[in-house]
Amino acid sequence: MDSSTQSVKVVIRDAATGALVRSGRASHPDGTEVDPRHWWDGLRSAIAQAGGLDDVEAISVAGQQHGMVCLDDAGAVVRPALLWNDTRSAAAAADLVSELGADTWAESVGSVPVASFTVTKLRWLATHEPEAAARTAAVCLPHDWLTWQLTGAGDLATLVTDRSDASGTGYWSPSGGAYRPDLLEHAFGRLAHLPRVLDPTGTAGKHGNVIVGAGAGDNAGAALGLGARPGDVVVSLGTSGTVFGVSTVPAADPSAAVAGFADASGHFLPLVCTLNAAQVLDATARLLGVGHDELATLALSVPSGADGLTLVPYLNGERTPDRPHATGSLHGLTLDSMTAAHLARAAIEGMFCGLADGLDALRAQGLTAERVLLIGGAAANPAVQRIAPSILGCPVTTPPASEYVADGAARQAAWTLTGTLPTWQPPTGTTTHEADPAPDVRSRYAEARDKTLNRR
């Protein structure tokens, strides 16, 4: 199961072969603040659409990272969850970094917190909603909460999480493999109950007769679903844009560009995340009054660089670079470039320029990129596939369309069930695109990147 930002997907796979048996999906509400009940309703409806779980032996839930789910003593949700892309805790993040220093955060928990991280949302809650903070007995993440619902939502002591999602809180250390309650207390003003962190094959409990695995953050789920190995870099284009790789050593980047997460296989997952990926293309297509296929045709009808038209795509503010209050901007308009086709191309190139900066930041942390894999909803777009190698500066492989996050959860469930990580046959139908690198597009973007207005 993949409970991601815009939707939930369920895949049922054969534990021995990995063959897809059935699948289902349901939408999530819009917005950056969501009552977790909607995730539960969506999950149940996606399970029903997938034909139920009667013949299923084990399940795992992967989900959007970082979201703050606060529970009271009785296990009731205290307030709607603040999601990873909610930027209201930007000032709290800046305060936490100035109070302890970026180096201390990077050394302690592998990441310097920005507004996405749970720890900053807890500081925001303590400051802005002290009554809700006072009622908060436990804090967990979206996938933890769904796992807990599936296993009967008993007492708070039965809450569990896994390494990959714990590593996005800002109060769990990937290198130490333990919580840092001192950091939680520093941010929140007191301690709260936290889910027990399971190993990748740990069992959360049972859903009827079905074994429930530890689950994972969605990016770690995708890495497991793809069978990513050191040397593979994954670029995921969902609501978030992410660039990440599996590493045998933890990352700690005091510049805040690279988050030093843990993965779902026992290793590490250095990752860069932007707030502006598929929704930039959705918004551009909407503006132009076209669908995604037509957007692709338009984008591919103009040359690389869109004759100088450059879109800085900070429509949701931005996380990397840390510009939570920024807006998007369009530069380089001329009579020739003010066309639908130029805008379509500029949107795709602008989205990729932020991710190419992310790939550079990962390389600066020592990650090697022998193979770059493109996944996520927007990876289905042919123009996205064709333009990716020019901006990322290397060949880009698109595996066949699949719900890789949910696939990773399924692979984890099979691992938990059998005790052996299954080696499922890689899917056939991979395509690799190559293109001349376009450093001029990136340098023009670098010139435009900081010339944006803040939100009003």
Ligand X SMILES: Nc1ncnc2c1ncn2[C@@H]1O[C@H](COP(=O)(O)OP(=O)(O)O)[C@@H](O)[C@H]1O
Binds 292: which of ligand 5SP, ligand X, none (CB < 5-8 Å by kind): ligand X
Binds 116: which of ligand 5SP, ligand X, none (CB < 5-8 Å by kind): ligand 5SP
Q: Check binding of 349 to ligand X (CB under 6 A).
A: no
8 Å CB contact between 128 and 270: no
**279 annotated as a binding-site residue:** no
Work out which of 238, 245, 321, 422 binds ligand 5SP, going by CB under 6 A. Answer: 238
Binds 281: which of ligand X, ligand 5SP, none (CB < 5-8 Å by kind): ligand X
CA distance 150 to 53: 12
Q: What angle do CA 213, 219, 223 make, to 5 degrees?
A: 80
Work out which of 151, 239, 274, 385 binds ligand X, going by CB under 6 A. Answer: 239
Work out which of 121, 292, 331, 449 binds ligand X, going by CB under 6 A. Answer: 292
Which of these is catalytic: 86, 144, 165, 218? 218
Q: Check binding of 244 to ligand 5SP (CB under 6 A).
A: no
Q: Check binding of 84 to ligand 5SP (CB under 6 A).
A: yes
Binds 84: which of ligand 5SP, ligand X, none (CB < 5-8 Å by kind): ligand 5SP
Q: Check binding of 148 to ligand 5SP (CB under 6 A).
A: no
**65 annotated as a binding-site residue:** yes
Encoded one letter per residue, x for contact with ligand X by CB under 6 A and - for no contact, window 368-387 reads --------xxx-xx------
Query: What is the nearest approach in angstroms of ligand X to the Cβ of residue 379?
Result: 8
Query: What is the nearest approach in angstroms of ligand 5SP to the Cβ of residue 91?
Result: 19
CA distance 94 to 256: 11
HSE at residue 64, side-chain half, CA atoms within 13 A, is 31
Query: What is the nearest approach in angstroms of ligand 5SP to the Cβ of residue 123?
Result: 18
Q: Check binding of 164 to ligand X (CB under 6 A).
A: no
The tokens for 445 are 């973007």
Between 273 and 343, CB nearer to ligand 5SP: 273
Choose one: 51-59, 203-211, 235-243, 348-356; the region binding ligand 5SP (CB under 6 A): 235-243
Residues 328-387 that bind ligand 5SP (CB under 6 A): none
Residues 150-179 that bind ligand 5SP (CB under 6 A): 168
Asked about 440 being catalytic, the answer comes back as no
Binds 137: which of ligand X, ligand 5SP, none (CB < 5-8 Å by kind): none
Work out which of 125, 150, 273, 438 binds ligand 5SP, going by CB under 6 A. Answer: 273
8 Å CB contact between 222 and 359: no
The crossing angle, in degrees rounded to 10, of helices 118-128 and 90-100 is 110
**CA proximity to 233, closest of 274, 278, 276, 272:** 272
Binds 256: which of ligand X, ligand 5SP, none (CB < 5-8 Å by kind): none
Query: What is the nearest approach in angstroms of ligand X to the Cβ of residue 282?
Result: 5
Q: Which residues are catalytic?
A: 218
Q: What is the binding site for ligand 5SP (CB under 6 A)?
A: 4-5, 64-66, 84, 116, 168, 217-219, 238-240, 242, 259, 271, 273
Q: What is the binding site for ligand X (CB under 6 A)?
A: 4-7, 238-239, 278-279, 281-282, 292, 376-378, 380-381
Bind-site residues: 65-66
